[in-house]
Amino acid sequence: MKLMTLDLSGVVGYAYGDPFKPLAPFFGSFKLAGDDATDRCLKLFLWCTEKLEANGITDVVIELPFIPKGGKTSFGANASLIGYTVAAGMAAKSNGATCAGVHQQTWRSQLKLPNQGPKNVLKLPGYEHFAFNANSTEKKSALQVAKRAFVKNHTSEFVQNKGAAPKDDNEADAIAMWYWKQDRLTQRLAEIGTKRDLFDDLQV
């Protein structure tokens, strides 16, 4: 069994390996280049197909996109995120791998990682400087940026404690998801009994 997890965005984070062997997963990230969303989706599909075939991936878990209510993000941005999810899913299915989606709130909560930063984050050590960054390039308030950093820092710390050294938060999220799914599979295997039965269970 080979498991791959994907954190999909303009920069794709990934992690893959055998969840039943005492080995850390391989991981990395790459940028989806191109101005056209269709081209980026095609590149992702082709990359996933190659990765699946080359590494014998049998199961794929994708972090589902978060689409804010109220039109806070553009139609193009939302369409791209949904397109990436479909492209990765199609690659998995066309190569005979199982494919499942998970919301970040689910895997973070089950790993006991924060889903959002505290309201007083700007008063916490190491986060005070965000108060001077209200006009960030992402055009978010200082509090929003600090809250996001709080979440990402905790995820990075989690995977570093596993021995990984991610170069960005995309890699960190993919690695954390991989360990989350590994825990879930280990628990399910204990309930079912054999890896063959577990594989059959995943096909449902």
pLDDT exceeds 60 at position 24: yes
Rounded to an integer, the average pLDDT of 87-98 is 94
pTM of the predicted protein model: 0.84
Give the pLDDT confidence of 98-152 residue by residue, as tens digits.
999 999 999 999 999 999 888 888 888 888 777 765 554 444 578 888 888 899 9
Radius of gyration, CA atoms only, the chain: 18
110-115 contacts at long range (C-beta below 8 A, 24 or more positions apart): 110/180, 110/183, 110/184, 111/158, 111/176, 111/179, 111/180, 111/183, 113/151, 113/154, 113/155, 113/158, 113/176, 114/150, 114/151, 114/154, 115/151
Residue-number span of the structural domain to which 179 is assigned: 3-203
How many Å apart are CA 96 and CA 76, to the nearest integer?
30
pLDDT exceeds 60 at position 5: yes
Among 3-17, 28-42, 54-68, 128-142, name the one with the lowest average pLDDT: 128-142
Number of domains the chain is built from: 1
Predicted local distance difference test score (pLDDT) of residue 100: 92
Selected residue with higher pLDDT from 1 and 45:
45
The DSSP secondary-structure symbol of 31 reads E
pLDDT exceeds 60 at position 71: no
Q: What residue spans of 56-168 are helical by DSSP H?
A: 75-94, 104-110, 142-161
Find the CATH number of the domain harbouring 61.
3.30.420.10
The band of 79, judged by pLDDT with boundaries at 50, 70 and 90, is confident
Return the number of other C-beta atoms located less than 10 Å from residue 19's C-beta: 20
